[in-house]
Amino acid sequence: MSDPPSYEELSANFSWSIAEQELGHQPGDPINIGWMCSDRICRMGLANKLALHWEDYQGNEKQFTFDDLRVLSNTIAHFLSELGIRPGERVCLFMDRVPELYIGFLGVLKMGGVVQPLFSAFGDESLFVRLQDANTSAIVTQKKHVHKVRKIREHLPNLRYIILVDAGESPLQQSEVSFPMDQARRIEDFAVYPTTAESPSVLHYTSGTTGQPKGAQHVHYSVISQYLTAKWVLDLRPDDVYWCNADPGWVTGTSYGIIGPWSNGITQVVFDSGFNAERWYEFIEKHRVTVWYSAPTAIRLLMKEGTEIVQRHDLSSLRHLASVGEPLNAEAVVWSQKVFGTPFHDTFWQTETGCIVITNLPGMPVKPGSMGKAFPGITATVLHPKTYEAVNQTGIAGLIALRPGWPSQIRGYWNNEAGFKAKFKNGWYLCGDRASIDADGYFWFMGRDDDVINTGGHLVGPFEIESALLEHHAVAESAAVAKPDPVNMEVVKAFVTLKRGYDPSGDLELEIMNHIRKRLSPLAMPQEIEFVDCLPKTRSGKIVRRILRCKEFHEPVGDLSTIMDD
Ligand code: PRX
């Protein structure tokens, strides 16, 4: 097998038109991700190639060829159109990692709808906030999750349909419809809606420091970046069996769990199951996985299980490993090289970037602990936090910034122009992270530049947690911050002041925990509540979470005078 081209070779004369040409897209023509990932692959003669081999924790399995993807996504698109869902309307996918989620994603896009994928683990409050904000028209879900939708249904007047993919004989309530994908009449031909480059495609909700989660609006043209980065960074080749651990409720699970591999015509395997080292290794062995895209939290869990368990399995099929979501510890890189014979390659990006922007490309020497270099076609630097000028000095920390304009950059936050504008300074897009750059152009991640908590690769905004806490009758004020955790890197800790007449106690802590448990996703749940007399604030009354966070991490809090003058 020939070596992959070097970073320099790939960067020389780079243009995103490389992807346009390979995908057969002419600027100005319609472009539809649903079509790109199914019909186009069939036209290339790969109709009978395996697209998805799905398995769940009970050992159930299903297989779909690219032609199945094409026909079944047509079937879903047709069904939604017949219901009266119009192009541009938001259709939420609220399911476990079942085939209907993956194929439904393509189906919604084919009829011109905007996909709003949400984690099936979300509690009713987290779900409500996002459906209300997006003014969602329909939600596709499963029997086991529909109770959460029913609970908030009456407060969502614009939600016209609740579509159940596994209703069976269960009684349906008002505005609920059954859509058993496997039994539906298969639609061979569907007139794919002629979306263009700038037509909205996916609306992913992501957390910021202030306010409710923001809907990051992607467009169909994003496939240009997702196709090429998947091909080059994940090193996808025609015979690969690709496994992405991420749930499509998270951008990794759509950009590289659907669009990236399928626009490349690659076979992927999906395991609808939580973490279990033994089962994961068995899965790789059984399916002969060649390319594996995972996350540091999972890798840390695997490291904890040791090497003996690795040796009990034949993992020789693995050729390329990549990681995303949190800093990838140098130890994890060294460990993976030792036990799998190839290191995990770090990739850095965000919901907002839509594609990998800083990375270790396969041909580049990996420096353990570094995220690698800017992907060709991405101009990345670090800026001085006050002047927003490029730092231009090796080893000095600054704000990670990207020159706007790559194809998969989001086009805005849903109904939140001010929030989107605030992400740009001096002609740069600010990621909200800090890093330094070494003499070879490698980025070294240092931390986030805001109060967002990264727990197991998932971003949690303090606002949602604090709002849920404030709904409890004893809570006067609260601040949610990160505290260190050996596996998830960070977990949520809440500081709470109580209203007059309430005293801190273990029972009260439990009561507050129970109160917020159902409202939030399990990830956002504080692992600890600490009752305090007061919270640190600026003179203008803003809570300074950074002080609390630094104490948890035993880091110096730095210069407080400027903060207090805020
Ligand atoms: O803080 C960075 C962290 O995750 C953030 C983006 O989170 P999200 O929008 O949920 O998208 C995650 C999947 C693309 C970043 O701003 N992050 C992501 N990748 C890395 C990382 N931190 C360190 N190293 C990474 N490789």
Our answer on whether the CB atom of 520 is closer than 6 Å to any ligand 1 atom is no
Q: What is the arithmetic mean of pLDDT over 107-114?
A: 98
| Ligand 1 centroid – CA 484 distance (Å) | 17
- Are residues 332 and 414 located together in one domain of the fold? yes
CA distance 432 to 445: 12
Question: Range with the lowest mean pLDDT among 131-135, 233-237, 376-380, 514-518?
Answer: 514-518
Last residue of a domain, one of 434, 466, 494: 434
Contact (CB, 8 A) for 235 and 18: no
Query: 287 is in which domain, residue-wise?
Result: 7-434
- pLDDT the model gives residue 211: 75
pLDDT at 542: 78
Count of domains for the chain: 2
Paired tokens of 502 = 């309430």
Residue 447 lies in a domain: no
Give the per-residue pLDDT at 561: 53
Nearest CA to ligand 1 atom 6: 350
For the segment 290-302, what is each residue's pLDDT rounded down to a tens digit?
999 999 999 999 9
252 lines ligand 1 (CB under 6 A): yes
Q: Among 454, 460, 521, 523, say which to mutate for ligand 1: greatest number of ligand atoms within 8 Å of CB.
A: 454
Query: Considering the chain, what is the average pLDDT of its residues?
Result: 94
Considering the domain architecture, whether residues 383 and 487 belong to the same structural domain is answered as no
- pLDDT exceeds cutoff 80 at 209: no
Q: pLDDT digit string (tens) for 188-197?
A: 999 999 999 9
Q: Do 425 and 539 fall into the same domain? A: no
For residues 123-138, average pLDDT? 95
Q: How far is residue 500's CA from residue 513's CA, in Å, rounded to a whole number?
A: 20
459 Cα nearest atom in ligand 1: 10
The yes-or-no verdict on residue 563 having pLDDT over 80 is: no
| pLDDT tens per residue, range 408-452 | 999 999 999 999 999 999 999 999 999 999 999 999 999 888 899
Ligand 1 centroid, distance to 287 Cα (angstroms): 28
Looking at residue 123, which CATH number applies to its domain?
Answer: 3.40.50.12780
Q: Which two tokens stand for residue 561?
A: 């005078």
Counting from 1 in the atom list of ligand 1, the atom nearest the Cα of 400 is 16
* Residue owning tokens 């197991």: 456
Q: State the pLDDT at residue 178.
A: 98
Quick check: 523 pLDDT over 50? yes
Which residues are bridge partners to 424 per DSSP? Answer: 429
If asked whether residues 397 and 518 sit together in one domain, one would say no
∠ CA 156-217-546, nearest 5°, is 90
Same domain, 405 and 539: no
Instruction: Look up residue 256 and give its two tokens.
Output: 């590289």
Res 564 pLDDT > 50: no
User: Tokens 């990549």 map to which residue?
Assistant: 322
Give yes or no: residues 393 and 466 share one domain: no
Q: Are residues 334 and 467 in the same domain?
A: no
For ligand 1, whether the C-beta of 351 sits within 6 Å is yes
The closest residue, in CA terms, to atom 15 on ligand 1 is 350
Residues 49 and 184 in one domain: yes
Q: What percent of the chain has pLDDT over 70?
A: 98
In angstroms, rounded to a whole number, what is the distance separating the alpha carbons of residues 191 and 57? 36
Where among 434, 463, 480 does a domain terminate? 434
Confidence at residue 562, expressed as pLDDT on a 0 to 100 scale: 46
Separation of 350 CA from ligand 1 center, angstroms? 5
Tens digit of each residue's pLDDT (9 = 90 or more) over 348-401: 999 999 999 999 999 899 999 999 999 999 999 999 999 999 999 999 999 999
67 is written with which tokens? 């032609």
Counting ligand 1 atoms within 8 A of each CB, the residue from 326, 373, 448 with the most, and so the one to mutate, is 326
394 with 369: CB under 8 angstroms? Answer: no
DSSP letter string, 475-508: EEEEEEEEEEETTTEEEEEEEEEEPTT----HHH
Answer yes or no: is 135 within a domain: yes
281, 445, 484, 300: CA torsion to nearest 10: 10
Q: Are both 328 and 464 inside the same structural domain?
A: no
Judge whether 277 lies within some domain. yes
The upper half-sphere exposure of residue 80, i.e. CA atoms within 13 Å in the direction of its Cβ, equals: 36
